Chain A
């Protein structure tokens, strides 16, 4: 069974440029998460989807961050414009979803973003 797929793995951009990250969750997983992991810290939730609905986006900086999960499968996280402080690893995770009880999350390898 394929795991959570993320691309790109690494991205270097200049500040004020846009950037997008893509995530393909495990087949059949209804819940998808985007996390940001700063150096030396644990992951922090940015947004959680149940199917195509964003059910928790309270930590998403909406002035510059946006996300979508069309058709309830793949998801894209975008930053526009990027700032120096956005340098971090962006992790995508998926789980079976709330109708299956609370299941563990499966993480992708992450995208390491460097903003110069």
Chain B
């Protein structure tokens, strides 16, 4: 069965500081991996995805993520956080059948 673990429930960073959100997955084959962001009262918006190829993927809003098969990880990074990045972030793993499994999310707070 596929599963996702986001070890950090809540992270606080100062504006302008770098950010890394952790994601570990379990999947029997090469996974499809996603990061979504959810602002209060909103649906989920896709930040980036990994299907194959280059293990470092670029997304919207200046985010990037790196797929590390040996560590079963897909961590999200941003070099300089903006106050508008405060939100909840979800990592998800999926396969060719179209089913995605989501982690429980990491809430990001940005200090001025």
Contacts and interface: CB of A to CB of B under 8 A. Distances in A.
B45 interface: yes
B94 A102 contact: yes
Q: How large is the interface on A (under 10, 10 to 19, 20 to 34, 35 or more residues)?
A: 20 to 34
B99 A56 contact: yes
Interface string B26-50: 0000001010100001111110010
Interface residues of B, number: 25
Interface stretch (A11-19, A64-72, A73-81, A106-114): A106-114
Contacts, number: 58
Contacts of B15: none
Given A102-B51, A104-B34, A104-B46, A109 B102 contact: no
Given A91-B43, A104-B49, A109-B42, A40 B32 contact: no
Contact of B43 (A56, A97, A104, A107): A107
A43 B44 contact: yes
A4 B43 contact: yes
Contacts of B46: 104-106
A102 B44 contact: no
B102 A102 contact: no
B100 interface: yes
A108 B90 contact: no
A107 B102 CA distance: 14
Interface of B: 4, 32, 34, 36, 41-46, 49, 51, 90, 92, 94-100, 102-105
